Amino acid sequence: MPIFEIDGKLWLLETKHQAYAIGFTEKGFLVNTYWGERLDNIRNYPLPRDHFASDSFDSEFETLPEEFPVLNGMKFVEPCLITRFFDGTRDLELDFEKFELDPQANFLRIYLSDSVYHFRVVLNFRVYEHEDIIEKWIEIENMDGVNDAIVKRIFSGNFCLGGEHDYRIIHTWGKWFNEMNISDDSLIHGKVVLESRRLTTSHHHNPSVIFYPNKICESHGEAYAISLGWSGNWKLVAEKNSLEKTRVTVGINDWDFELVLKPQQTFQTPPIYFSWTDQGIRAISHTFHNFIQSHLLPHPNKPRKVLYNSWEATFFNVNLVEQKKLAEMAAGVGVELFVVDDGWFHGRNSDQAGLGDWWHDAKKFPNGLQPLSDFVHQLGMDFGLWIEPEMVNPDSNLYRLHPDWVLHFDKRKQTLARNQCILNMAIPGVQEYLFEKIASLIEDNDIQFIKWDMNRNVSEPGWDREDGGSSCEIWVRYVEGVYSLWQRLAMAFPRVLWQTCSGGGGRIDTGIFRYADQAWLSDNTDPLKRIFIQEGYSLFYPALTMESWVTESGYENTPLDFRFLVSMSGVLGIGSNLLHWSDTEMKIAKKWIHVYKEHREIIQFGRQYRLISPRESEVSAIAYQNDDCSKGVLFVYNRKMESESQTVIIYPLMLERNKVYQFDGLENRQSGADWMQNGVPLVLSGFSALFVPYNML
Ligand code: GLA
């Protein structure tokens, strides 16, 4: 059983490999006594113990591993909850109220409450035993019948990393056009803060991170992984205090934040998903890939189609005649989904106008989009469309009609970015308008795929609330608005697949994957850069969600085969202008799309192995293998530009030792043990890539 309860005082949450224990000390503090390897016997788990002040400057809270520290007492660790009550009191005193355990759902709720101010905090835990994931989140409730409670901060949770180690943190950072760089840094005495204040998750830091105490590599080492399921402003604080204790708090960013809980109102935080391993970074990746696929994605088992996207081919210059030609060419090489990107809607000829007016541009599509959609369907492809629902250009009918619908401060200048403003997604009328427009598009044009974009960061986050509530809630209510619109559309059109995009990888997280089936990682489609972006992405996010297009971007002499092989390691797409491709290029495309379709099951649903990182060598390699180890594919990339051929040895450490394998193109049939020990010799010419399927015999 994944959740044990002992005397209503101690709870043990177990997954396949990890355990997480929480319980009350004698003084009544709820502490996290253990997070790590699953132990054989319940008696072996550490019991909750009280700690003592070290002197009059450092109280017990500096070392006590509180599960959910709130602002109170002589405490200087980061609290997860800061409130202000009607009389100005800012401390909370929480006592145990009750717990509820639902063994069928592997779900535990622990209720704590402040009896003076009638404020309740519920800690929720859900255990995904086989997936090795535990999820936790918080609910708060103002039970006072009369007074509001002001919430200045409400994080989703806190983690106390064991021992007095020098922990390090691995996370991805970047910017537009350069997302998902992997960094590996020491925590200092003091705090490391990662956050977004940009309204979305951001290109700059990703809220899925790994902490580790000693050494780590792909296959060995202890790691604690934490991922926040939230697509708005977030904050992670990792603190190593002067008593050598390391804590991590994470949740919705409290910067410019305020929540007013009216009497009887509740609020629920986004979830944190977490996992422990002693099997290195790869185990964390596998755990999250599997979890995201099996528990978050709306269409977990649908093979992702080979797509064509018009953006880099035509930019805003979209029209029926050319799109039809492109569609014909795309179908000819085996594309299965044709997506019309930006430029198709009313008044959209550049980034100056049109956003908000979500109907076809009558000059470009005199009879609407249906003739194109029908044509695409007749060619045997699905039809997809780009939208950017949250945005509006001042030069649009929508803005002229509803200038008050955008985020703004009445008496401040409006900052435009890419000539656009941000619609206030917290306003029900905005959601209603968007639902109606998007639903008609999907219905009228038989759409199977939507790319949902969001192309700017925030400014002037004002909100004239009709109900007099705090406008600082915008950071939360905006994201909830996006989620709820998306959810409504997903329910109305369950067969549509969705892509998340925010100028590339600005909104990628375990929150958005409850709505989006795949993601656009970066506007940078140069394969030499993409190899790195895709590696960073793979730390947490699965190949099934990783859309990657072949384009002309980057170094012009990059071979087309190389471009295809980089894109084939995720969800393959083409973004080039096919009307400019030669017969030879079309043949190459046809060949690789065919190969991809033969092997996509393994790439999209298999396990990924980062065999040689591009950060370590100019020759890098990844593999995908199915669960029973009977089939796999190797991708090898040589970024060295010199032209001589060289033999590289790849060690495929994921084979079954006692089974015999054969790699395409090599005559030898050897045991898995042999290949793993002696490697697979592959001949690579300069600046080239190889695709090598293999089989168990
Ligand atoms: C963003 C996206 C691109 C493309 C453009 C269209 O930059 O990331 O893929 O859709 O918008 O304006």
CATH of the domain at 362: 3.20.20.70
pLDDT attached to residue 597: 98
Cα(499) to ligand 1 centroid in Å equals: 12
pLDDT attached to residue 241: 96
* Residue at 535 is within a domain: no
User: What's the CA gap between 477 and 218, in Å, rounded?
Assistant: 39
User: What's the CA gap between 633 and 625, in Å, rounded?
Assistant: 7
| Residue whose CA lies nearest to ligand 1 atom number 8 | 503
Cα(514) to ligand 1 centroid in Å equals: 22
Q: Which residues 6+ apart lie within 8 Å of 7 measured at CB?
A: none
* Residue at 531 is within a domain: no
Same domain, 269 and 355: no
Does pLDDT of 280 surpass 80?
A: yes
- In the block, tokens 């200087």 appear at 76
Q: Using one digit for the tens of pLDDT, what is the confidence trace for 616-653? A: 999 999 999 999 999 999 999 999 987 789 999 999 99
The band of 494, judged by pLDDT with boundaries at 50, 70 and 90, is: very high
* Residue at 686 is within a domain: yes
* Token couple for 600: 């996509």
Same domain, 153 and 168: yes
Cα(561) to ligand 1 centroid in Å equals: 25
- 180 sits in which H/E element: strand 178-186
Cα(311) to ligand 1 centroid in Å equals: 7
Same domain, 389 and 330: yes
Q: 289 with 607: CB under 8 angstroms?
A: yes
* Token couple for 399: 């803005």
User: What's the CA gap between 108 and 14, in Å, rounded?
Assistant: 12
pTM of the model: 0.98
Same domain, 634 and 587: no
Q: Tally the C-alpha atoms within 13 A of residue 75's C-alpha that lie toward its C-beta.
A: 21
Report the atom number in ligand 1 closest to the C-alpha of 341: 10
SS3 (DSSP) at 400:
helix
Does pLDDT of 429 surpass 80?
A: yes
Cα separation values, 61 from 112, 113, 243, 302, Å? 18, 19, 11, 49
* Residue at 427 is within a domain: yes
Best residue for ligand 1 mutational test, from 350, 453, 500, 507 (most atoms within 8 Å of Cβ): 453
User: What's the CA gap between 231 and 270, in Å, rounded?
Assistant: 9
Task: Tally the domains of the chain.
Answer: 3
Cα separation values, 10 from 35, 49, 234, Å? 14, 11, 30
| Residue whose CA lies nearest to ligand 1 atom number 2 | 503
Share of the chain above pLDDT 90, in %: 97
Same domain, 246 and 362: no
* Token couple for 276: 């422990």
pLDDT attached to residue 338: 98
Q: Using one digit for the tens of pLDDT, what is the confidence trace for 499-542? A: 999 999 999 999 999 999 999 999 999 999 999 999 999 999 99
- In the block, tokens 């202890």 appear at 222
Best residue for ligand 1 mutational test, from 499, 508, 523 (most atoms within 8 Å of Cβ): 523
* Token couple for 260: 């007013």
Cα(389) to ligand 1 centroid in Å equals: 13
Cα(509) to ligand 1 centroid in Å equals: 19
Same domain, 632 and 659: yes
User: What's the CA gap between 569 and 622, in Å, rounded?
Assistant: 8
Cα angle 271-129-272, degrees, rounded to a multiple of 5: 15
The band of 214, judged by pLDDT with boundaries at 50, 70 and 90, is: confident
Best residue for ligand 1 mutational test, from 315, 455, 520 (most atoms within 8 Å of Cβ): 455
Best residue for ligand 1 mutational test, from 176, 178, 386 (most atoms within 8 Å of Cβ): 386
* Residue at 240 is within a domain: yes
pLDDT attached to residue 670: 97
Cα(342) to ligand 1 centroid in Å equals: 7
| Residue whose CA lies nearest to ligand 1 atom number 11 | 503
Cα(341) to ligand 1 centroid in Å equals: 8
Nearest to 343 by CA among 353, 335, 334: 353
* Residue at 352 is within a domain: yes
Cα(303) to ligand 1 centroid in Å equals: 24
Report the atom number in ligand 1 closest to the C-alpha of 502: 8
Same domain, 334 and 230: no
Query: Strands 18-24 and 30-37: what pairing?
Result: antiparallel
| Residue whose CA lies nearest to ligand 1 atom number 1 | 503
Same domain, 212 and 335: no
- In the block, tokens 């859309």 appear at 547
Best residue for ligand 1 mutational test, from 176, 178, 307, 311 (most atoms within 8 Å of Cβ): 311
pLDDT attached to residue 642: 79
The band of 165, judged by pLDDT with boundaries at 50, 70 and 90, is: confident
Q: 323 with 372: CB under 8 angstroms?
A: yes
User: What's the CA gap between 471 and 256, in Å, rounded?
Assistant: 10
Using CA atoms in the order 583, 588, 592, 594, what is the torsion angle rounded to 10 degrees?
Answer: 40
Cα angle 436-440-444, degrees, rounded to a multiple of 5: 175
Q: Average pLDDT of 573-582?
A: 97
Taking every pair of C-alpha atoms in the chain, what is the biggest distance, in angstroms?
81
- Final residue belonging to a domain, choices 241, 262, 296: 296
Q: Using one digit for the tens of pLDDT, what is the confidence trace for 141-161? A: 999 999 999 999 999 999 999
List the beta strands (DSSP E) in 229-328: 234-240, 246-252, 259-261, 266-268, 272-277, 307-309
- In the block, tokens 């290195």 appear at 280
* Residue at 364 is within a domain: yes
| Residue whose CA lies nearest to ligand 1 atom number 12 | 342
Q: Using one digit for the tens of pLDDT, what is the confidence trace for 430-461? A: 999 999 999 999 999 999 999 999 999 999 99
Measured between alpha carbons, how far apart are the two ends of the chain, in Å? 38
* Residue at 524 is within a domain: no
3-state SS of 128-139? ECCCCEEEEEEE
Judging by beta carbons within 10 Å of its beta carbon (0-12, 13-18, 19+), is residue 648 exposed, middle or buried? middle
Does pLDDT of 1 surpass 80?
A: no
SS3 (DSSP) at 62:
helix
CATH number, domain at 673? 2.60.40.1180
Taking each helix axis as running N to C, give the angle between helix 474-492 and helix 428-445, from 0 to 180 degrees, rounded to the nearest 10: 30
Q: Using one digit for the tens of pLDDT, what is the confidence trace for 239-251? A: 999 999 999 999 9
The band of 607, judged by pLDDT with boundaries at 50, 70 and 90, is: very high
Report the atom number in ligand 1 closest to the C-alpha of 386: 10
Report the atom number in ligand 1 closest to the C-alpha of 503: 8
Report the atom number in ligand 1 closest to the C-alpha of 504: 8
Same domain, 262 and 338: no
Higher-confidence residue of 202 and 641: namely: 202
Residue 324: left if φ>0, alpha if ψ -120 to 50, beta else—which one? Answer: alpha
pLDDT attached to residue 168: 98
Q: 326 with 577: CB under 8 angstroms?
A: yes
Q: Average pLDDT of 663-668?
A: 96
Same domain, 312 and 283: no
Cα(614) to ligand 1 centroid in Å equals: 27
Best residue for ligand 1 mutational test, from 342, 387, 499, 522 (most atoms within 8 Å of Cβ): 342
Q: Which residues 6+ apart lie within 8 Å of 386 measured at CB?
A: 311, 339, 340, 341, 342, 344, 450, 451, 453
SS3 (DSSP) at 376:
helix
Cα(38) to ligand 1 centroid in Å equals: 45
Report the atom number in ligand 1 closest to the C-alpha of 520: 8
* Alpha carbon 96 to its chain's center: 34
Judging by beta carbons within 10 Å of its beta carbon (0-12, 13-18, 19+), is residue 696 exposed, middle or buried? middle
Q: Which residues 6+ apart lie within 8 Å of 663 measured at CB?
A: 634, 675, 680, 692, 693, 694
SS3 (DSSP) at 474:
helix
Q: Average pLDDT of 342-354?
A: 98
Q: 78 with 237: CB under 8 angstroms?
A: yes
The band of 467, judged by pLDDT with boundaries at 50, 70 and 90, is: confident
- 291 sits in which H/E element: helix 280-291
Cα separation values, 292 from 30, 164, 311, 542, Å? 30, 32, 28, 7
The band of 590, judged by pLDDT with boundaries at 50, 70 and 90, is: very high
Query: Strands 178-186 and 168-175: what pairing?
Result: antiparallel
Best residue for ligand 1 mutational test, from 179, 308, 341 (most atoms within 8 Å of Cβ): 341
Parent domain of 511:
307-516+542-605
Cα(214) to ligand 1 centroid in Å equals: 41
- Final residue belonging to a domain, choices 296, 318, 342: 296
Q: What rounded mean pLDDT belongs to the chain? A: 97
Does pLDDT of 604 surpass 80?
A: yes
3-state SS of 70-133? ECCCCCCCCCCEEEECCCCCCCCCCEEEEEEEECCCCEEEEEEEECCCCEEEEEEEEEECCCCE
Q: Average pLDDT of 15-20?
A: 97
Cα(632) to ligand 1 centroid in Å equals: 33
- Final residue belonging to a domain, choices 571, 590, 605: 605
Q: Using one digit for the tens of pLDDT, what is the confidence trace for 106-119? A: 999 999 999 999 99
Report the atom number in ligand 1 closest to the C-alpha of 451: 10
| Residue whose CA lies nearest to ligand 1 atom number 4 | 311
Same domain, 347 and 314: yes
Pocket residues: Cβ below 6 A from ligand 1: 311, 341-342, 386, 453, 455, 501, 503-504, 520, 523
Same domain, 234 and 105: yes
CATH number, domain at 288? 2.70.98.60
What does the buried/exposed string (b/e) look like for 23-35 if buried means 16 or more CB atoms within 10 Å of the residue's CB?
bbbeeebbbbbbb
User: What's the CA gap between 635 and 568, in Å, rounded?
Assistant: 9
User: What's the CA gap between 26 and 96, in Å, rounded?
Assistant: 12
Which amino acid, one-letter code, is at 612? I
Cα(566) to ligand 1 centroid in Å equals: 20
